[in-house]
Every structure is written in structure tokens, then in C-alpha cells.
Amino acid sequence: MKGCEIVIEALKKENVDVIFGYPGGAIMEVFDIFYQSPIRVILTRHEQAAAHAADGYARASGKVGVCVATSGPGATNLVTGIATAYMDSIPIVAITGQVPTAMIGNDAFQEADIIGITRPITKHNFLVRDVDDLPRVIKEAFYIASSGRPGPVVIDLPKDVQQASTEEKCPDSVEIRGYRPTYRGHIRQIKKVAEAIAKAEKPVIYAGGGVIISGAHKELRELAEKAGIPVTTTLLGIGGFPEDHELSLQMLGMHGTRYANYAMVETDLIIAIGARFDDRVTGKLSEFAPNARIVHIDIDPTAISKNVAVDVPVVGDVKTVLKELNKIVGEKSHPAWLAKIKEWKKEFPLSYETGGGMIRPQFVVEKICEVAGGDAVIATEVGQNQMWAAQFYTYTQPRSFLSSGGLGTMGYGFPAAIGAQVARPEAVVFDIAGDGSIQMNIQELATVVINELPVNIAILNNQFLGMVRQWQELFYDRRYASTCLARRKECPKICNEPKPGCPGYSPDFVKVAEAYGALGLRVEKEKDVVPALKEAIASPKPVVIDFVVEREENVFPMVPAGASLSQMMGGMA
């Protein structure tokens, strides 16, 4: 077979049924074979969207997502999506075309050193110089991407290798010297965890994205209920523990709940499960959980004690370790601790001001949850929209919340929602977006219309780059530098607040939606929010809803940069 034919056969052997991509000169051989293959090709309108769609597909399905692009600018346009997947430990395989091997390093047309460029943001990458290596490389790429701590893998494929022939077959198994992830935790360490839980009076489970990745949500719930331990999640851990459960503290950290952050300040034992003690979670490190012993369960040994010193490390797959832990951990209750948390929940619920005539963005998110019955798959962009989606939608199932956590990529949500809709065609899928971030990949409206993907986009339109504006309001004396999206040439140079009669906003999202063939709706009154959402969910077409919301609404609670978790701003009823 030719190299290009091997690519397709290897993908079929990995049970790949869809790829997201964009063709070009250096990858034409592969796309020519795709043309006749059973693998579905979703042609995105930008390569970055192809990478994000593959990422969203992986998060929503648990399978490896695949994106394909040509050399040079096609490959470099994947970089942001690859980095997003790397930061969040998402398994994708990116296949890039490359100039012929003899021309590599000669500054050939559309040549870029994508191996060098992506080395810091991939779990591994391959430049295939010999077609005989290609079957093995693809097998290894999928194995590396999906095993251990998952992550993106790049396969760079020169055009002459695609055209060359080989008799090598796709292998049935793979073994890589020096790469053997540890799945089973050491039983002695697991016993130490059980002992620590038995001694603790104020324990907290801190659950991250590893719970979602390993499918350990049932084991996590069993542990929490058996040992009577409240559970807080990271942004990427959302959905790993049902937020309607009495033991749920919801999200912690910079924009987490007050009661989650207070619990972390007072706890005497943190059981960290598949989390990495990110700076957005810990706040000021020297004051993080000052009274707590720390247990850390993670499949990646390099993550343990990387940011926070750990007392009881357990290296292993979260699901496997929790199964063993649940066998030996004793039943326990913490009435005084849970009573205190219940008091915090009552005193400091997530809340927002009402009235004033404008729609509050938090209200929109609550109503999406209500109208969808809490069963939608929610993708988000980045910024205020992301935090409101995390705070005010009640998540009860894993793989129902897709968001760029580590890299914070504007433009992620819409193509990720496309990937989720392809992975789960029966699901109601929403992208909760800001009016700034949606324009990063708005061209993908063509993709959803042409592929008949009924993705719903809820734009929380405040005419600002909202999160940056919030920081400018709070820490830069309301100097709204380059954050007002309605700003025109005739506006005064110094302008730090919206005024009646401000210039009209561009673009008109309803007209943009209609130009692509989607349904566009605009909502300016609170009473129209629910009818618009019902119309969107009932529509077989993609829908863009432009919610005109309060312009200077802020996300609270908020832990300022450099502050401890106890030093939260706002978020008090």
C-alpha cells in the first residue's frame, strides 16, 4: 500500500469514524483516499477549528480526536488547538502534511518545522521519513495519546512518504521501550490514604479532570458517600461529581464558590484526585490549605509535589486506585464539619443582582440548564461567559462540560461544540459564548450549517471583552483600554463607562447567522429568554441567540491575583 492508504487503514483499525480537517498541497494524497473511504470528513473553515473540534469530540466521547492539515500555515494553524489539548490532557492525534523529505530544511514553499514548533506542547511527535515506519508510528501515536496521562500527538508526514509504497502492515499491538504508565497504585500507599481519611475531622476531596478522563465518577461518588467527605472540583473536573448532591461544594479557586474556598482553608485533609494544584485553584501558595495534610492520586508522577508538597502520594489511574481504596476505607461521618459547610452554603450562595431592566448573564445560564433539563452538553469560550457557565449551570454528568482550562483559549467553545455534536448527535449542545470570543471562529457557522449540526450558540453580548474589562474596573481604575467592542473613531479618547447613545455594536449576530443559513435570534428582555431557548432546542438548524446583557456585570466571587483563597471579593448575598 501507499503511505496515504496506510493512513486510512490505520485510522480504521483505531476505530476512527470521523476526522476534522482542511486540505492543502502537502496532504492532498491523504485527502484523495479520504474521498473514497468510510471515514467521515468534517471540513472546517479554519485549521484551528479542526483541532478544537477534535478536542471537543475527545472530551465528549472519551475517544481519541483526529485532525488533519497541510504543511506550513495549515500545520501552524493547528498549534493553538494542540496547545489547548496539551494543557488539559486531551487525547488528539494531529496529522500534518510536510514537504518532500529531500526539501526539508531548504525553506521550501509552505515548509514549517512543525516538529520543533510543537515539541513543547505535545506528549510526543513524529516526523516520518520512511514509509515502512508509518504503520507502527500511527499505532504508537494513538497509544501514546490515549494512555497514561493523555495528550496530543503530532504525526508529520512528508509528501513523498505519502506517495511511497510498503509491504508493512498495521500492527495489532504496540510496546514502547521506556513508556509504561502505572495504572495500579501501590497498595501500601492506598492503605495510608485510608488511614488518613480515618483520622481526619475536616476532610475535603479535591477532584480534577483526571476523574473525567479515567471514567471514575462512580468510584468518586462511592468514596464521598462512604466516608462522608464533601467534594469540590476544578474547572475541568466539573461533572465528575453531581452538583445537586448534598456533598457537592461545586468549583473552587479564583471564581469558585465561597464555601468551597472556605472549606479548603479550614480542612485538615485534602484528597486530591486527578488534579494538578493549578495557580487558579491554590491562590497564594504559601497560604494554601495551611492546616491540611495532602493526599495526591494521579497517573502522572511528575504532577505530584510539583506545585504543592504532598504527604501521601499515590501514582496510578484514578479509577483503579479508587476501586481499591473503596474496598478498605471505613464508613465515617463528619456531622460538625458538614454542618459548618451547610451554614456557609446558606450564608454565601452563588447569587447575582436582579432588576435594572437588563438581562443578567447568570440568568441566561440558569435558564439554559432549566430548559435543557440539565442534560445538555455545554461548551464554553473563555472569560466571563466561561465562569458563569461553570457557576450557574448544574452539572450532574461527566463529559457534559467542555472548556479550555489550562491555556484559556478564546475561540475554543464553538468548534469544541461541533466536535461534541458529532460525537453525540442525540445530545442538546450549547456553546455559551462572549461576543468577543465567538468572533475568533465564527466562520464555523458554515461548518454547522452544511453538516446539519444543530449546535446552539448563546452569546452573552455585553459589548466588551468582559473579563479583561472586569480586571480593568477592579485593578486599573476603570481604564477600559481596548476592551470596548463598540468603540468607534468618534468616541472620546478617555472613556471608562458605557453611556446612553453609545455607538451601535458591530456585527449584527442575527444577520451573520442568517447569512450562513443558521437561525438567528435576538433577546433583549428577560421574559423572552426562555421562549428563545425553547425555540433553539426545538430547531433542527444551528441557532445563534444574541442575548443583550448587562454591560458591566462582573463574575464573583473572585480571588485577586496573589491573594489567598480566604481573601475573596464579592459573591455575598
Question: Per-residue pLDDT tens for 289-340?
Answer: 999 999 999 999 999 999 999 999 999 999 999 999 999 999 999 999 999 9
Domains of the chain by residue range: 3-163, 187-347, 361-548
Quickly list H helices, 252-317. Answer: 258-266, 279-282
**Do the domains 3-163 and 187-347 sit in the same CATH topology, yes or no?**
yes
Is the pLDDT at 501 greater than 90, yes or no? Answer: no
State pLDDT tens for residues 94-131: 999 999 999 999 999 999 999 999 999 999 999 999 99
Could you tell me where the beta strands, DSSP code E, fall in 34-163?
40-43, 65-69, 92-98, 124-127, 153-158
Q: Which of 2, 63, 123, 159 is catalytic?
A: 159
Quickly list H helices, 424-563. Answer: 445-450, 466-475, 509-516, 529-538
| pLDDT for position 573 | 62
Is the pLDDT at 222 greater than 80, yes or no? Answer: yes
**If you average pLDDT over residues 379-393, what whole number do you get?**
98
Specify whether 467 is catalytic.
yes
Tell the burial category of 396 from Cβ atoms under 10 Å away from its Cβ (0-12, 13-18, 19+). middle
Q: Domain 3-163 class?
A: alpha beta
**CATH entry 3.40.50.970 includes domain 361-548:** yes
Could you tell me where the beta strands, DSSP code E, fall in 46-172?
65-69, 92-98, 124-127, 153-158
Q: Domain 187-347 class?
A: alpha beta
- Side by side, the strands of the sheet bearing 543-548 are 401-402, 377-380, 429-434, 456-461, 543-548, 519-523
Percent of the residues in the chain that have a pLDDT greater than 90, as a whole number? 96
Specify whether 48 is catalytic.
no
| Residue tagged 466561561 (cell numbers) | 386
Is the pLDDT at 224 greater than 70, yes or no? Answer: yes
Q: What is the DSSP letter of 554?
A: -
**If you average pLDDT over residues 510-524, what whole number do you get?**
98
State pLDDT tens for residues 429-455: 999 999 999 999 999 999 999 999 999
**If you average pLDDT over residues 505-530, what whole number do you get?**
97
Specify whether 426 is catalytic.
no
Radius of gyration of the chain (CA): 24
**If you average pLDDT over residues 491-510, what whole number do you get?**
88
Three-state DSSP at 245 gives coil
Specify whether 387 is catalytic.
no
Q: Which of 5, 28, 110, 287 is catalytic?
A: 110
Angle, helices 335-347 vs 258-266, to 10°: value is 150
| pLDDT for position 41 | 98
Percent of the residues in the chain that have a pLDDT greater than 70, as a whole number? 100
State pLDDT tens for residues 47-99: 999 999 999 999 999 999 999 999 999 999 999 999 999 999 999 999 999 99
What residue type is 511 in one-letter code? K
Q: Which of the four pLDDT bands, split at 50, 70 and 90, describes residue 383?
A: very high
Is the pLDDT at 213 greater than 90, yes or no? Answer: yes
Angle, helices 47-61 vs 413-423, to 10°: value is 50
Residue 451 parent element (H or E) = none
Per the prediction, the chain carries an average pLDDT of 97
State pLDDT tens for residues 244-262: 999 999 999 999 999 999 9
Q: Which of 251, 254, 467, 558 is catalytic?
A: 467
Residue 8 parent element (H or E) = helix 3-13
Number of neighbours of residue 96 by Cβ within 10 angstroms:
29
Contact 104, 76 (CB under 8 A): no
Q: Which of 109, 342, 452, 475 is catalytic?
A: 109
State pLDDT tens for residues 23-53: 999 999 999 999 999 999 999 999 999 999 9
**If you average pLDDT over residues 129-152, what whole number do you get?**
98
Specify whether 109 is catalytic.
yes
Is the pLDDT at 475 greater than 70, yes or no? Answer: yes
Number of neighbours of residue 370 by Cβ within 10 angstroms:
14
254 to 102, 232, 430, 571: CA distances (angstroms):
51, 13, 24, 12
> In three state form, how does the secondary structure of 61-79 look?
HCCCEEEEECCCHHHHCCH
| pLDDT for position 163 | 98
Q: Which of 14, 47, 366, 381 is catalytic?
A: 47
Cis upstream peptide for 507 (omega within 30°): yes
Task: Pull the grid cell for residue 401.
Answer: 462540560
